[in-house]
Structure 1
Amino acid sequence: MTKSSSDKFLPGLVQELQEFAFSQTGSTKILRMLGYGLLLLALFDVVEMLVPPNFMNPAWEFQTFGALVERIPVPLIGLALIFYGELHSRNKWEFLSLKLLSWLTLLLAVIFLLLIPLGIGNTVRLSKQSAAQITNASKQQLSQAEQVEQRLSQATPEQIGNFLKAQGRSLNGKSTQEVKTQILSEVSKAKSQIKTQAQTTESSQRLNLLKNSVKWNLGALVSAALFFSFWKATQWARISR
């Protein structure tokens, strides 16, 4: 390339670089505005989840913990967009907000770490409560079945006939003893089904609770690590003017 051609080429290149830089500045401001908007929307979600509060209720605490973890990508993306470009092309009011947001990431990292033992504790409490409720419900059903079984065992043929009439059934040519034996067999099967259904329900609920607990606790751990990495990476914001 000759000297004259290079003299013509360099100004054009400089102009293109300037235009590119200006376009990047505009795009960066748009991304930051989007970040602030996402943070504001995330704040609305948090307020909606925490109002009205119901602390000391393990079910509410567990579901709220899960909802917080499920929504964490929005504030993470928002913070990444806000911190993008560091101090380049910032408004004056942003310097203070960047400091506050940088320290906020550390606070959120600590909060999500502290939520993990709370989530594990509520998992245990909810598992025990669920097992107790299922056990009590099955005991009541078994007690009712045993009462029916006891009454039938002591019932006279006339009482058996009245029992069948009350249910819209008839002997159909069978003796009252045969019908009595058949009904007792049905009650015995019902008792066995009650026990089996209680065990199945308890196992299913425990599995779902465990799956959600593992998912949300691991999510809280990852969120805490990401917030802490944000805090470390934004030291420039904390020492800015």
Structure 2
Amino acid sequence: MTKSNSDRFTSIVQELQAFAFSQQGSMSILRSLGYGLLLLALFDIVEMFVPPNFMNPAWEFKTFGALVERVPVPLIGLVLVFFGEMNSRTKWEFPILKLLSWLTLLFALLFFLLIPLGIGNTLRLNNQSAAQISTLSKQQLSQAEQVEKQLNQATPQQIDNFIKSQGRSLEGKNPDELKTQVLSQVSQAKKQIKTQAEATQSSRGLSLIKSSVKWNLGALVASGLFISIWRGTRWARTN
């Protein structure tokens, strides 16, 4: 090897060493960021589950959605923490890395098991919503039918007396005409109650299904990503 080639080789080695040292600093920054993101994710989880309200489908569904919506933060944090594998690690990191690696498997199973729970709560919430809307519409229809029944049984004189007791006049109409007009309005109101109930149920059901599909698919994707991280961090569990 000539002197010029030797100098060139030495220069390349020095550049590679400088690059390696610079990467060590970058890895430290990225790993610190990863630990910070995991800590922030932990704060979010504590906030979501305090106070707990298990067996409440609305709370469970909302919490399930919040977990899926915020899962990118711990995923990114884990990737940053595991970046560089065993290179430039301090001793205190080894047990933490092993624990985090096993936790990724636990999270994968958790998100996968949340899917049937999410589907079940979707059905329960949809049934509850339908029951509430049905009860409310029945109450409104009952009130309208009661008014309709009272009008049908009222005599023209009773209608005239009622209007006068309210400080109003028939405005040139006879009681029978007014009775027919009010009955027509009540009939229209009954139709509107039914139409509005159907529209409300349809709107709520669609919104619920959209959220359910989004969050259940998100949970499935998150489960797969956690499994990928677990499989890719075998080195952390064997050291």
The TM-score, its normalising length taken from structure 2, stands at 0.96
Unaligned runs of 5+ in 2: none
Name 2:72's counterpart in structure 1: 73
For residue 157 of structure 2, what is the amino acid of its counterpart?
Answer: E
| Secondary structure of 1:82 counterpart | helix
Could you tell me how far 1:162 is from its partner in structure 2? 4.2
Aligned to 1:238: 237
Q: Note the C-alpha offset of 1:197.
A: 0.2
Distance of aligned partners of 1:161 and 1:64 in 2 relative to their CA distance in 1, 3 Å threshold: same
Flag the 1:14–1:169 CA change in 2: closer, same or farther, 3 A.
farther
Secondary structure of the structure 1 residue equivalent to 2:170: coil
1:38 is aligned to 2:37: yes
Partner in structure 1 of residue 119 of structure 2: 120
What corresponds to 1:104 in structure 2?
A: 103
Q: Post-superposition shift, 1:14?
A: 1.4
Deviation at 1:225, TM superposition (A): 0.6
Which stretch of the first structure deviates more once superposed, 58-67 or 11-20? 11-20
Structure 2 residue aligned with 1:161: 160
- Distance in structure 1 (CA, Å) of the matches to 2:99 and 2:116: 27
Q: Deviations over 1:148-188 (max 9, x none)?
A: 11111111223323444566653221111111100000000
One-letter code aligned to 2:200? T
Q: Map 1:1-241; keep pairs closer than 5 Å.
A: 3-165=2-164, 169-240=168-239
Distance 2:195 2:29 in 1: 60
Q: Which amino acid aligns with 1:154?
A: Q
RMSD after superposition: 1.4
Question: Quick one: distance in 1 between partners of 2:178 and 2:234?
Answer: 84
Counterpart amino acid of 2:54? F
Secondary structure in structure 2 of the residue aligned to 1:92:
coil
Taking every aligned residue pair, what percent have the same amino acid on both sides? 70
Gaps of 5+ in 1: none
**For 1:228 and 1:167, how far apart are their aligned partners in 2?**
73
Q: Report the 3-state secondary structure (helix = DSSP H, G, I; strand = E; otherwise coil) of the residue aligned with 2:86.
A: coil
Distance 2:65 2:221 in 1: 14
Q: In 1, Cα distance between the equivalents of 2:224 and 2:31?
A: 23
Aligned length: 239
Q: Give the deviation of 1:7 after TM superposition.
A: 2.4
Q: CA offset at residue 5 of structure 1?
A: 2.2
1:92-137 residue CA offsets vs partner (Å, 9 max, x unmatched): 0111001000000000011111111111111111111000000000
- Deviation for aligned residue 1:13: 1.6
Worse-superposed segment, 11-20 or 118-127: 11-20
C-alpha distance in 1 between matches for 2:159 and 2:15: 100
